[in-house]
Structure 1
Amino acid sequence: MITISLCMIVKNEEEVLERCLDSVKDLVDEINIVDTGSTDKTVEIAKKYTDRVFFFEWTGKFKDARNESFKYATKDYILYLDADDVLMEEDREKFKLLKETLDPEVDSVSMYYNAGIDEYGNVTLRYRRNRLLKRSRQFQWHGDVHNYIAVWGNIINSDIAVTHLKKKHAVGRNLSIYKEKIANGDPFSPRDYFYYGNELRENQYYKEAIESYTKNIEMAEGWVEDKIYACMFRADCHRVLGNNKEELRSLLMSLSFSKIPRPEVCSRIGYQFQQQKDYQSAIFWYELATNLPDDPNRWSFTYPAYSTWYPHLQLCVCYYQLNDIEKSYEHNEKAREYRPTDERILNNKKLLENKLKTISQET
């Protein structure tokens, strides 16, 4: 059976670190924690779980700290987590089985990253990451902010998920790192433009975000998945700014990269037609969003809401506007499967049941 070193970087994580370590302490053979300058009880908590607590002066680049943490690993494989990550019980069991059965010739195991969870337990954002890495391959982190590991060789995809349970969001932190890169005259890769666009959008600098996404899209280099989502997110910025034609143009451009439409695009296009009161066209796109097959091996972002409760809820509205109450009720019920206590859906349910009752009495 393989052995595993857990490697983490932390700073002021007293609220979440214990929860993280409790979820994995019995799954790994070694815990290495690199602190980058905590002023709370983070180090004290870490030392309850391991005597392998190290210190590293923050350089302003996450890749430096993450690569430093990997230096302390001594076991066959490296598992990395952030302090606000956990393995849920179902995934703990899958992880145990993986550890018992993994072929030591495997260089990396990818796992899902459930980067967001809503109040109903639905995953809001999911993507794959190379999560369990063969130490002897000496894989390295790259990128100043949104890091990635350059991995090659024998890679397998597992159905294990690491779940991100964030308690706070460092607003503006990543944006300031990118602005420092610009001030220093550092070159931007297509990936940098994509993630800089994301930071700008999340901080409501929509015009600047559009410019950054456009630079990503127009560069010949870069991952096609980033370009697909750059088109979508650029469209979102245009919608906020009231540029409806540019929004639709950007959404349709995503199809030139994806070839097959994504639920995230279909639902956005559906909403455009819905706002124009073109309900039949909206229905086409919303229904397409619910019927597209999921690809479990996709590495890029996946937002499950756009293929589940959201298009069903909008279909409820569209069919209601067309006076098809049965279809409206049917889709509201499908949305309710995902959000059972959502007040909007419950209000729809009450209204539609009264409508159906009236129709039944009239016939």
Structure 2
Amino acid sequence: MKRLSVCMIVKDEEELLSRCLDSVQGIADEIIVVDTGSCDSTKDIARKYTDKVIEYDWSHDFSAARNESLRHATGQWILVLDADEYLSIDEHHEWLQFLESEPPMNYLAYTLPIINFTGEKVYDDEISASPVTRLFPNYQGIYFERPIHEQLTRGSDKKLFHKKIDLKIYHTGYQTQRVNEKDKHERNMSIFNEMMKNQQMSDYDWFTLGNQYRYAQEDQQALDCYEKAIKDTDTHSVWYPHCLVGLISLYFKQDRLLLSWKWTEERLSQFDNYAEYYTLKAIHYETLGFYPQAIENYQKAIEIAEVRAENDQEIWLVDPMYSFEMPVQQLISIYFSLQDNQKAIYWLSKLLNKNSKNPRVLLKMTDWLSHNEQSGSVIQFLNQIYDTNSKTDSSLLFKIGLALGQKELVEHYSEHTPANLTLSPAENCRLALVQLDQRSFNQYGLELLHEGKELDLHSWIQIAVGSFIWKDTRLLQKSIGISGQNTKLGELSALMLQVIQDQEPEEGEFASKYTDEWFTIAKELFVLKQYECYDQFVNKVQTTDLVNKLANYFYSVNRMQISLDYYSILLKQEALDIHSLINLGLYHSSHGYTKEAVDFLALAVQMQPKQRGLYYSLINCADPTDREKYVALFHEEFPDFGKISFVREFIGQIHV
């Protein structure tokens, strides 16, 4: 008897079907593909892998189609997959070990985690997990029911038990491009609408309909469905914690923190042996500025996940991001905000070691280190994580150094990059800037400005920076001529010409319209170590908005002397913006300068009373005679938040 039958239903899946079928080669003894009406090459691709390709007339019922695939299976075990799912070849041995050692029982099916990649890129941290029952013994008494989000059953009079196992299925079906291509939402909604019309909706169906709305970013409809699903359901249902976390997340997103906290403490607390409970608690603490409590709970979440991993237990309850990525990212953010840079860098290093191929994390780490360490130390640190003999690693590090304008990193890693590494004209232009090679800069700048080629803002920034360094306006003048319908770049080029030529803008406030662009140019001049040019440029285009942006940038990378100098100028001008006030308030609070902290935090809440995360620090640091005033302001702005248990307890202690 054959051991494993892989059963699928497909339609127009030529893009992904091969990946799925390749991933089961070596463990599947047969593959059954039920095609529900493909108009592309799906059936031809399937026939390369199996002779069991069955054409089936679609009846708007997933269970009927699934059961048709089961009817043709002859293996001892059945694994159900979709075309946008796949197995990891590296995990084949685990699948084979299970199939060889597990005795099939006609009343037992197996629930596996599907790892969903919902980001735009492979390295994105947008990963979620959901349990699905897809593996079961091939007995005629086990079949699918329900038209959508179909479920396995043995019939109404026989119980089918579910056992969790850690064999994984990987899924990319909800990445943005795939949703647009397949119109899954419209297809699924037509089935749900028919079920609601016929009053066929169970608690589970309301949950899956909520998921459908959530993927479509229709949050209120999703919330309504989750509320209906969870009202009277069995808390031991496999899908219950997923519905619960979805409900909490949507309440939180709508700023209904009293409800999101209530459900966390009253319902999610029954799963306090998982990281999700502590991460969601920490998010509430952090949102309301209770940073010590947030830090404690984020660390607790990470510890629990690590202990579960060490004990070979299921690591997450609902979603892997709650067990590591999210708590670590939030710890990094909090520690940087509080200027506890040593701890921020520690957690940033942990995140980078977990996923060294994520360029966003690597960029943030290298940017901060480059401002605070010698180049040799930065290279030594990176070489502990990356293999410079690897062309992939060395190319990544080279491009990170290039993006950050770090000449020493570019020169070091260029020695290890492949000779045939292809750079775009924009990257070559950037390389010429880093190397201060004006001739090459002009050559690649002309390529960027080639007639008929649209110029993007990033490329224009490179041209503007080089033009200012060498006081050469030829590329900028040419860029005006090809800007075409891009009015913004035309205006920017004209203004930049005036800056280089020491002319005053015709309209006094016109330059402030492009503060973001002036900030980026100034930052580029600084990281390229063109300090004289940097000072010249900032003096020429200086606005309070620009100075605030520069002050906050230097604060974020621990260049505190420069940052505080800018803050002092803004303070004298009474021109500190909300971000500057928050940074100064938290800086003074974390260093024990409570009087100064209150001065800045009070100004911040006066400027933006809805800054809910500031009141805890403000009330904590305030003189006892002033605390009542700030407590009253908090209650006025957030009447419901005072009912949250930890907020109520804090305010009660203040009154005492």
Q: Is the 8 A contact 1:290 1:311 kept in 2?
A: yes
Given the alignment of the two structures, is residue 147 of structure 1 paired with residue 150 of structure 2, yes or no? yes
Post-superposition Cα deviations, 1:293-329, rounded to whole Å, max 9, x if no partner, equal: 4386659953112111221121122223333322222
What SS does the corresponding residue of 1:209 show, helix, strand or coil? helix
Q: Is the 8 A contact 2:110 2:163 kept in 1?
A: yes
The separation in 2 between residues aligned to 1:317 and 1:63, in whole angstroms, is 46
Q: Is the 8 A contact 2:166 2:314 kept in 1?
A: no
Q: Which moved more, 1:97-106 or 1:301-310?
A: 97-106
| Root-mean-square deviation over aligned CA pairs | 3.2
Q: Percent identity?
A: 27
Alignment-derived partner of residue 275 in structure 2: 263
Q: Pick one of 331, 335, 339 that aligns with 2:347.
A: 331
Given the alignment of the two structures, is residue 214 of structure 1 paired with residue 227 of structure 2, yes or no? yes
The separation in 2 between residues aligned to 1:68 and 1:26, in whole angstroms, is 24
Q: Is the 8 A contact 1:9 1:65 kept in 2?
A: yes
Structure 1 residue 274, shift from structure 2 partner: 1.8
Q: Which has the higher contact order (CA 8 A, sep 6+)?
A: 1
Alignment-derived partner of residue 199 in structure 2: 186
Alignment-derived partner of residue 364 in structure 2: 347
Q: Is the 8 A contact 1:190 1:221 kept in 2?
A: no
Given the alignment of the two structures, is residue 16 of structure 1 paired with residue 16 of structure 2, yes or no? yes
Cα distance change of structure 1 residues 108 and 32 upon mapping to structure 2, 3 Å threshold? same
Structure 1 residue 6, shift from structure 2 partner: 2.1
Structure 1 residue 154, shift from structure 2 partner: 8.5
Taking structure 1 as the reference length, what is the TM-score of the superposition? 0.85
Cα distance change of structure 1 residues 160 and 316 upon mapping to structure 2, 3 Å threshold? same
The separation in 2 between residues aligned to 1:300 and 1:37, in whole angstroms, is 38
Given the alignment of the two structures, is residue 116 of structure 1 paired with residue 117 of structure 2, yes or no? yes
What one-letter code is carried by the residue in structure 1 that aligns with 2:189? L
Q: Pick one of 298, 302, 321 that aligns with 1:286.
A: 298
Cα distance change of structure 1 residues 164 and 14 upon mapping to structure 2, 3 Å threshold? same
Cα distance change of structure 1 residues 262 and 132 upon mapping to structure 2, 3 Å threshold? closer
Q: Which moved more, 1:287-296 or 1:12-21?
A: 287-296
What one-letter code is carried by the residue in structure 1 that aligns with 2:363? L
The separation in 1 between residues aligned to 2:287 and 2:67, in whole angstroms, is 48
Structure 1 residue 255, shift from structure 2 partner: 2.4
Q: Pick one of 312, 315, 325 that aligns with 2:331.
A: 315
The separation in 2 between residues aligned to 1:271 and 1:233, in whole angstroms, is 15
Cα distance change of structure 1 residues 347 and 18 upon mapping to structure 2, 3 Å threshold? closer
Q: Pick one of 143, 155, 167 that aligns with 1:160.
A: 167
Post-superposition Cα deviations, 1:97-148, rounded to whole Å, max 9, x if no partner, equal: 4444444568545544323376238782234444332213531112322222
Cα distance change of structure 1 residues 174 and 252 upon mapping to structure 2, 3 Å threshold? farther
The separation in 1 between residues aligned to 2:74 and 2:263, in whole angstroms, is 48
What one-letter code is carried by the residue in structure 1 that aligns with 2:195? K
What one-letter code is carried by the residue in structure 1 that aligns with 2:339? N
Cα distance change of structure 1 residues 103 and 241 upon mapping to structure 2, 3 Å threshold? closer
Taking structure 2 as the reference length, what is the TM-score of the superposition? 0.49
Alignment-derived partner of residue 318 in structure 2: 302
What SS does the corresponding residue of 2:6 show, helix, strand or coil? strand
Q: Is the 8 A contact 1:172 1:203 kept in 2?
A: no
Cα distance change of structure 1 residues 201 and 80 upon mapping to structure 2, 3 Å threshold? closer
Structure 1 residue 80, shift from structure 2 partner: 1.8
More helix by share: 2
Q: Is the 8 A contact 1:8 1:66 kept in 2?
A: yes
Given the alignment of the two structures, is residue 138 of structure 1 paired with residue 141 of structure 2, yes or no? yes
Alignment-derived partner of residue 65 in structure 2: 65
Aligned length: 357
